[in-house]
Structure 1
Amino acid sequence: VVKAFDHIDGEYVAIKIIKNKRPFLSQAQIEVRLLELMNQQDNDNSGYIVRLKRNFTFRNHLCLVFELLSYNLYDLLRNTNFRGVSLNLTRKFALQLLSALLFLSQPELSILHCDLKPENILLVNPKRSAIKIVDFGSSCQIGQRLYQYIQSRFYRSPEVLLGIPYDMAIDMWSLGCILVEMHTGEPLFSGTNEFDQMMKIVEVLGMPPTNILEQGTKTKRFFEHLPDNTWVPRKNKERRYRSPGTRKLHDILGVDAGGPGGRRTGEANHSVSDYIKFKELVQQMLEYDPKRRILPFNALQSPFFKRTYDDTSNVNHTMPSNSNINNNNNNNNNTLLNLNSTSSPNLDANHQQVKNPGRKSMNITNHAFLNGHK
């Protein structure tokens, strides 16, 4: 993805250049079709989905021209030194992301994002808390071709891990993981491989229900079926895991301990009651059974959002002028179709990569923003 200046419209845009290989081209064509469908359905630009302006082919490369957005939520986390943002800001992000999932769940769309993660959620403006979802390169519609290998590992749902047919509930699982990470600063389930991922989920949520395990085509990679008809995690020689369900979400969030690591002790809007509401919502998002996992509409009715409604806060409220956010472009100049372009944050960044030249750091020192007041 490159940042470029459109001399015809007189504005900066982001251009996603697709590799000149048939599999990439085929998937990009699906992405274009889905984006056009979403943008058409989202006439008033309120769906929290990035807007595709147009597409063209240049030297056999399909190029997708998007509105230019700002930094992603992983960048935001990194600039808290991975200590997380306030519960207020987490709430504002949650409200927008649930609204986006509700939008995608419309019968006219029925679109699964399939790769929801902090890198694929971008700030519209570095001084505001409004966000949009990007990168629909792995997306599909219910009833269309569904892929076996989807979702970045940290945010991969149990049904995908176990080899169970999946639906739109996989994005809700990813969102639950993201919200915890945004507040604690660390991934909730940071598996190094699929086995490790599944075991880290089990440490927190306990064993999956038997009916879920029995549906999976890959269940026996992770669990052993005993003669008494019970399931237990497979032994692993490389590392030992805590007993199922003993790493409590209650403790991870620091519900009655002043937040994660006690860092929110005495801070306004971080009461035990606030944390209980947050925990209960996340637990409903992380339900093993996708049929019982909370739906976007129901999640939006959560008591966790009552404070937001009472405050009638506006996610587009401008930050104070003394905010100090370094949003300068880097100096790597390229040429694309006679457009003056510079490298931009990589909209497709992989959370698990150690080195990623597409990521840029930003210096956020405005505590009003990080605490969710904007």
Structure 2
Amino acid sequence: MEMSRGGEARSKGESCTTWSALSSEGNASICSKSPQEILALFGPHLTNREKLELAAMQEVWYFALFNKSQGFNNDGYDDYERNYILFRHEHLRYRYEVLKKIGEGGQGQVIQCLDHKRNILVAIKILVSPSSSKQETYQKMELQIALELQDEGSDEDFNVIKVLNIFHFRGHYCIVMELLKESLHEVIRNAGLRRLDMAMVKTYTRGILKLLRHINSRKIVHADIKPENVLVKDTVTGTVRITDFGTSFFVESQPMNVGGTLEYLAPELLLGYSLTCGVDMWALGCTVAELATGRELFRSNSHEDHLPRCIEILGMPPRYMVNGAPDRTQFFDHRGKMFCPGKKRVPGSFPLHRVLKSDDPEFVEFISSCLRMEPAQRPSSLLAQASKEKLKVVEEETMVEELVVQEEETLVEELVVLEETLVEELW
């Protein structure tokens, strides 16, 4: 296949025809075409659906026409699992050129693309085509949260992945994001037996905490914190960006079925309780332990085995937490004895310090604090409560306007210090 960079359409055989707004000199001349001009160039090769798509466009920055094999859903564009069937160098919404797949999950695919309007590389998450109104509602929630967190400077101040564009294409919601080099999962894998330097582990931890404190203040739960969803922005400074809000939700509007990745699921989620931002702090503890040890903390054989594995390391949850659990009977009998499908798990028989293989008591205590069975006892909840108490004191004790301003400035300074030193205080 031969690609055009001079503004002219070129073809090689019958398999592909392309046009790009990018000139051979890069940014020297980037000029779009109108849909009518594309129709004049490629009209005989276009399907009725493509002609309708073009009619709704205002500008075309990149076009590629392929004789593609037909899929099984969505007029042949989707596979059995309703994922969009991708071809290298095809276009997405007449602007983005598909280069390669860089990620895949139950909610869609992540693709590296070239943006022919801005001449930059980007990552595009293409969600699966929704099969029900319920699934579409969840997808719209992801889009809403992704946009909700895109305040000016939110990437620098709170380590939120930068969203550059959102569009709908051939039945799929697509999120365009900044392209970053690697995730913490790849950092762990590349480190191998050498393990990561503990100073860098702390740096990554602070970076994730920035995001968690930010979304906590917005009453948003990420619900899938894990090494794969923490991307490295700068390998030297350890700056990170957190991505993938596919399972995220607002605390006041929890979905019926909360997703997430098994190895990082908190006990209250398994037991059927309503969720708070504490599930993210649990996942942070799992992630930091993995950064330090090079392996997943809770390796379980199945969903049914996951809670017993957590209990094997951390001991039994409080009695009230077991007795009041909506999904209690999935894990405990009427006497409160734990079911152990497959491998027998004895509560507390494999304590945390042994799993972590660490002689640093502060590090073990930090992980332990994140993994407390009671969500309200995890650091994020304590930090939020401390902030509320400080605000209440200010409201009650400041009667003069100058004093109010002074107290608010002091409060901000105290909270900044509290945020910056949370890791040091616990670890």
Which residue number in structure 2 is paired with residue 167 of structure 1? 276
CA separation in 2, counterparts of 1:185 and 1:66?
28
Does residue 294 (structure 1) correspond to residue 371 (structure 2)? The answer is no
The Cα of 1:186 is off from its aligned counterpart by 0.9
Equivalent residue for 2:347, pick from 222, 229, 244: 244
String of CA shifts for 1:232-278, please: whole Å, max 9, x gaps: 22254x3222x31121212222333xxxxxxxxxxxxxxxxxx2111
Identity of aligned residues (%): 27
The residue number in structure 1 matching 2:370 is 285
Q: What does residue 102 of structure 2 align with?
A: none
Which protein is richer in helix relative to its size? 2
Gaps of 5+ in 2: 1-109, 384-417
Partner of 1:305: 424
In the alignment, does 2:172 pair up with 1:61? yes
- 1:210 equivalent in alignment to 2:315: no
> Aligned-pair distance for 1:305?
2.6
Alignment-mate amino acid for residue 232 of structure 1: K
Greater share of strand: 2
| Letter matched to residue 32 of structure 1 | L
Question: Which deviates more from structure 2 when the two are superposed, residues 136-145 or residues 74-83?
Answer: 74-83
Asked if 1:99 is matched to 2:204, the reply is: no
- The offset of 1:155, in angstroms, is 0.3
Q: 1:43 to 1:253 in 2, by over 3 A?
A: closer
Give CA deviations for 1:142-197 in whole Å, capped at 9, x if unaligned.
11132334221100000011111111111111001111111001111011212211
Tell me which residue corresponds to 2:199. 88
SS in 1 for 2:326: coil
**Counterpart of 1:124 in 2: which secondary structure?**
strand
* Aligned pairs (5 A) from 1:219-230: 219-226=328-335
**2:377 aligned counterpart, secondary structure:** coil
Deviations 1:28-70 (A, max 9, x none): 3221211111112655731111011111222232221111112
Q: Distance in 2 between matches of 1:303 and 1:25?
A: 38
Show the counterpart of 1:335. Answer: none
Alignment of 1:155-194 (within 5 A): 155-194=264-303
> Larger relative CO (CA 8 A, sep 6+): 1 or 2?
1
Kindly indicate whether the alpha-carbon contact (under 8 Å) linking 2:312 and 2:349 is maintained by their aligned counterparts in 1.
Answer: yes
- Aligned residue identity for 2:231: L
How far, CA to CA, are the matches of 2:352 and 2:255 in structure 1?
Answer: 31
Contact 2:314–2:348 (Cα < 8 Å) also in 1: yes
Code of the aligned partner of 2:142: E
- Partner of 2:100 in structure 1? none
Q: Distance in 2 between matches of 1:142 and 1:6?
A: 35
Letter of the structure 2 residue corresponding to residue 249 of structure 1: L
Report the aligned-residue RMSD: 2.4
- CA gap 1:121/1:235 in 2 versus in 1, 3 angstroms: closer
Structure 1 gap ranges (5+): 257-274, 309-374
- Output one character per residue of 1:97-136: Cα deviation in whole Å (capped at 9) or x when no partner: 1111001111xx2111111111111111455411111100
Residues 110/303 of structure 1: CA separation in 2 closer, same or farther (3 Å cut): closer
Give the TM-score normalised by structure 1: 0.70
Report if the CA contact (8 A) 1:205-1:244 is conserved: yes
Contact 2:308 2:340 in 1 (8 A): no
Aligned to 2:31: none
Give the direction of change, closer, same or farther, for the CA distance of 1:64–1:304 in structure 2 (3 Å limit). closer
How many Å separate the matches in 1 of 2:227 and 2:280?
Answer: 13
Say if 2:361 is the partner of 1:276. Answer: yes
The answer to whether 1:4 aligns with 2:108 is no
Q: State the secondary structure of the residue aligned to 2:191.
A: coil
Provide Cα deviations, 1:214-241, integer angstroms capped at 9, x if missing partner.
1212222212232xxxx222254x3222
d(CA) in 2 for partners of 1:167, 1:306 = 23
Report how many residues are paired: 282
Distance in 1 (alpha carbons) for counterparts of 2:138 and 2:145 = 11
Contact 2:308-2:339 within 8 A present in 1 as well: no
